[in-house]
């Protein structure tokens, strides 16, 4: 199989994959692409505009009407129709909306094209749920990053407290994490699953800097094996 120069990092929410993906990209000096931010941004805007998600035709015309910009300027992660949503997409309620919208086939097709176009033969780290299985099955390096539900809920809890949110309930978060996993793994289109050739990375017990240096070593070896310049 011929390979493309993408490093695919997939896994469930709270597994540490974003931190791992971001740090790995930074250490290697390559582009980092956060595909979850794209689903979040579309979910946020569709909700604001009261798009009926049960109508494929309404969703399709919504998708045709919008302009998405990813990292179009310094300090902006994602914009829709010129409006910067980088902060707003991190609000807790947007996670639920994103999980719902990510099950809609036209949304996945739209973002699949967008993601392929964006990576367009660049060396990059792309993070998501289906990068190694659907978006770039020919990625030269694939990792499936995971952690136990308890660890993931606690990480989310700490994050929300850090952000100043006060009414956070750990047990509720555990249930939310589990529900989101079931949805992400159970959906018909592009479900969350480990690609057969992805390396499983469990971050429950491992400090993130250990994980990152382990991955960095594997990426460097693999890149020199197949002649990709990092």
15 forms part of the interface with ligand DC (CB under 6 A): no
**Nearer to ligand DC among residue 142 and residue 180 (C-beta):** 180
98 forms part of the interface with ligand DC (CB under 6 A): yes
79 forms part of the interface with ligand DC (CB under 6 A): no
**Nearer to ligand DC among residue 52 and residue 186 (C-beta):** 186
129 forms part of the interface with ligand DC (CB under 6 A): yes
180 forms part of the interface with ligand DC (CB under 6 A): yes
Question: SS3 string of the chain?
Answer: CCCEEEEEEECCCCCCHHHHHHHHHHHHCCEEEEHHHHHHHHHHHHHHCCCCCCCHHHHHHHHHHCCEEEEEECCEEEEECCEECCCHHHCHHHHHHHHHHCCCHHHHHHHHHHHHHHHCCCCEEEEECCHHHHHCCCEEEEEEEECCHHHHHHHHHHHHHHCCCCCCCHHHHHHHHHHHHHHHHHCCCCCCCCCCCCEEEECCCCCHHHHHHHHHHHHHHHHHHHCCCC
- Which of positions 181-220 make contact with ligand DC (CB under 6 A)? 184
From the list 79-87, 123-131, 140-148, 203-211, the region that binds ligand DC by CB under 6 A is 123-131
Binding site for ligand DC (CB under 6 A): 13, 35-36, 39-40, 95, 98-99, 102, 128-130, 180, 184
């Amino acid at each position: 199989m011929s390979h493309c120069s993408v490093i695919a990092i997939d896994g469930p929410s709270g597994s540490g994959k974003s931190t791992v993906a971001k740090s790995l990209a930074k250490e290697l000096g390559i582009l980092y692409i956060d595909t979850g931010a794209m689903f979040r941004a579309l979910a946020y805007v569709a909700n604001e505009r009261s798009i009926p998600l049960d109508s494929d035709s309404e969703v399709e015309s919504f998708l045709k009407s919008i302009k998405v910009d990813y990292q179009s300027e310094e300090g902006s992660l994602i914009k829709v129709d010129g409006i910067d949503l980088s902060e707003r997409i991190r609000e807790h309620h947007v996670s639920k909306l994103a999980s719902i919208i990510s099950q809609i086939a036209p949304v996945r097709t739209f973002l699949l094209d967008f993601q392929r176009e964006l990576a367009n033969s660049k060396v990059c780290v792309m993070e998501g749920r289906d990068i190694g299985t659907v978006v770039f099955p020919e990625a030269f390096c694939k990792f499936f990053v995971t952690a136990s539900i308890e660890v993931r809920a606690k990480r989310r809890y700490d994050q929300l407290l850090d952000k100043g949110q006060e009414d956070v309930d750990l047990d509720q978060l555990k249930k939310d994490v589990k529900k989101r996993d079931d949805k992400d793994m159970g959906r018909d289109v592009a479900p969350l699953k480990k690609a057969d050739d992805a390396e499983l990375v469990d971050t429950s017990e491992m400090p993130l800097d250990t994980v990152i240096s382990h991955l960095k070593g594997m990426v460097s070896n693999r890149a020199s094996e197949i002649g990709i310049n990092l």
